[in-house]
């Protein structure tokens, strides 16, 4: 299959900080490739390098067959970029922004008028065409930016955190647009720090942390790498000591791998949760630790990230509750 983006040992150093550290990957034609990582992981910097906005310190990159350093002009002809922050001219109207964008991308005027109409309809902003962008809500600005990125029908689309900070409704809409593009076979490089976004939209995902790719595969592959199910155990007491004793005790229990220990909480990966859970209870009884709640579900990218880094992707998200598919509860 044709490779549309190739990164080989791509590195970007800012002073003493390696923002992107020897990153290598390829994106095939028609694929949605995700970069999943926490704040400061180097996602935006990678996009800046691939879109010719910054020069790599070392390494090589090809986009649509062109070298990002030697043929930046050619690369620019092939790409569309949705930047993480708003890059619209807030004083201009929605229509004027698209007009400017279209002409600096070389779209002939008549065709441009037509495309602007089409895309304003696609992102459902027709009624706002003649309003200044500074009057738009965050979600509307994002949608207008998506329209701009698509206006010149780029061969490769870069989307930097397309739904960051948006309300669930706007988020769903943007997902629909991206899924529509996925059906049309547009090649997309997307960054996100939402698990569910990567799971839902991407064919393959790289997990990036401190500028390095620490895992890469389809969401299923990444999740399988952990074992097939995750069991979360909440203890009645909020003590780290109890959790640590439990973890210690579970070490030699067959089919259980402890992934995380926190005060009052541990998580265990296992092949079969239905068999592991009784053993966990047995152990708890033996150690005189009281269990308040046990949940289990298929591992999510969140679990993968946790497993690989020992940290959660987003602190405010409570153990990927939204991704829990099967949920069981016991009371003692």
Partner 1 sequence: MVSPASAAYVMWYRQVKRFVRARSRLVGSIFQPIFWMVFLGLGFTSALRGAPVFGGIDYLTFFAPGVVMMAVFFTAFFSGTSIIWDREFGFLKEILVAPASRTATILGRILGDVTIAMLQGVIILALALLMVPSLNLTGFPLVLAAAFFTALQFAALGTILASKLKSFEGFQLVNMLLAMPIFFLSGAFYPVDALPGPAALAAYLNPLVYGVELSRRALTGMGFLPLPTSLTILTASSIRHFLVAVWSFEKTTAE
Ligand X SMILES: Nc1ncnc2c1ncn2[C@@H]1O[C@H](COP(=O)(O)OP(=O)(O)OP(=O)(O)O)[C@@H](O)[C@H]1O
Site string for ligand X, 48-87 (x = CB under 6 A): ------------------------------------x---
Q: Tell which phi-psi region holds residue 40, choosing left (phi > 0), alpha (psi between -120 and 50) or beta.
A: left
Where helices occur in the chain by DSSP H, the ranges are 43-50, 72-78, 94-104, 109-122, 138-151, 168-184, 195-201, 219-224, 240-250, 273-287, 301-309
Residue of 20, 38, 51, 156 interacting with partner 1 (CB under 8 A) = 51
Q: Which of residues 61-80 bind partner 1 (CB under 8 A)?
A: 73, 76-77, 79
Residue of 32, 81, 98, 235 interacting with partner 1 (CB under 8 A) = 81
39 binds ligand X (CB under 6 A): yes
Residue 59: CB atoms within 10 Å = 19
How many chain residues bind partner 1 (CB under 8 A)? Answer: 31
Q: Which is nearer to Mg ion, 44 or 51 (CB)?
A: 44
Q: Which stretch binds partner 1 (CB under 8 A): 26-34, 52-60, 182-190, 303-311?
A: 52-60
Tokens of residue 273, six digits: 């949760």
Q: Which of residues 88-127 bind partner 1 (CB under 8 A)?
A: 88-92, 96, 99-101, 103-106, 109
145 binds ligand X (CB under 6 A): no
Helix (H, G, I), strand (E, B) or coil at 210: coil
Q: How far apart are CA 211 and CA 43, in angstroms?
A: 8
Q: Which is nearer to ligand X, 99 or 194 (CB)?
A: 194
224 binds partner 1 (CB under 8 A): no
CB of 23 to partner 1, least distance (A): 18
Q: Residue 34: which H helix or E strand, with range? A: strand 32-36
45 binds ligand X (CB under 6 A): yes
Q: Which is nearer to partner 1, 93 or 267 (CB)?
A: 93
Q: How far apart are CA 293 and CA 16, in angstroms?
A: 46
Q: How far apart are CA 160 and CA 153, in angstroms?
A: 18
Residue of 101, 152, 171, 193 interacting with ligand X (CB under 6 A) = 193
Helix (H, G, I), strand (E, B) or coil at 312: coil
Antiparallel, parallel or unpaired: β 212-217 and 204-209: antiparallel
The binder of 106, among partner 1, Mg ion, ligand X, none, by C-beta within 5 to 8 A per type, is: partner 1
Residue 327: CB atoms within 10 Å = 12
Q: Are 162 and 146 in contact (CB under 8 A)?
A: yes
How many chain residues bind ligand X (CB under 6 A)? Answer: 13
Residue 66's DSSP bridge partners are: 63
> Contact positions toward Mg ion, by CB under 5 A?
43-44, 84
Q: Which of 210, 198, 175 is nearest to 45 (CA)?
A: 210
CB of 14 to partner 1, least distance (A): 8
- In the complex, the residues that contact partner 1 under the rule CB under 8 A are 48, 51-55, 73, 76-77, 79, 81, 83, 85-92, 96, 99-101, 103-106, 109, 132, 148
- In the complex, the residues that contact ligand X under the rule CB under 6 A are 14, 17, 19, 37, 39-45, 84, 193
């Amino acid at each position: 299959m044709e490779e549309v983006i190739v990164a080989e040992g791509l590195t970007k150093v800012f002073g003493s900080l390696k923002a992107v550290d020897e990153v290598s990957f390829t994106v095939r034609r028609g694929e949605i490739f995700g970069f999943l990582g926490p704040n400061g992981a180097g996602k935006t910097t990678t996009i800046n390098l691939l879109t010719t906005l910054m020069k790599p310190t070392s390494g090589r990159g090809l986009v649509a067959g062109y070298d990002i350093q030697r043929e930046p002009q050619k690369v620019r002809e092939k790409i569309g970029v949705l930047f993480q922050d708003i890059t619209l001219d807030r004083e201009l109207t929605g229509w004027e922004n698209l007009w400017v964008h279209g002409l600096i991308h070389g779209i002939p005027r008549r065709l441009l008028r037509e495309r602007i109409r089409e895309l304003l309809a696609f992102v459902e902003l027709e009624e706002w065409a003649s309003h200044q962008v500074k009057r738009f809500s965050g979600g509307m600005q994002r949608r207008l930016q998506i329209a701009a990125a698509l206006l010149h029908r780029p061969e490769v689309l870069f989307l930097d955190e397309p739904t960051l900070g948006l309300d669930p409704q706007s988020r769903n809409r943007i997902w629909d647009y991206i899924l529509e593009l996925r059906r049309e076979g547009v090649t997309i490089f997307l960054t996100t720090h939402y698990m569910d976004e990567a799971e839902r939209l991407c064919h393959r995902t790289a997990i990036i942390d401190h500028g390095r790719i620490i895992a890469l595969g389809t969401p299923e592959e990444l999740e399988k790498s952990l074992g097939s199910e995750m069991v979360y155990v909440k203890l009645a007491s909020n003590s780290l000591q109890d959790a640590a004793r439990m973890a210690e005790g579970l070490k030699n229990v067959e089919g259980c791998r402890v992934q995380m220990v926190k005060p009052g909480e541990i998580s265990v990966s296992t092949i079969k949760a239905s068999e592991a859970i009784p053993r966990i209870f047995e152990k708890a009884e033996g150690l005189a630790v009281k269990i308040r709640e046990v949940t289990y579900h298929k591992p999510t990218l969140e679990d993968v990230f946790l497993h690989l880094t020992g940290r959660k992707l987003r602190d405010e998200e409570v153990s990927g509750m939204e991704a829990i598919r099967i949920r069981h509860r016991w009371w003692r």
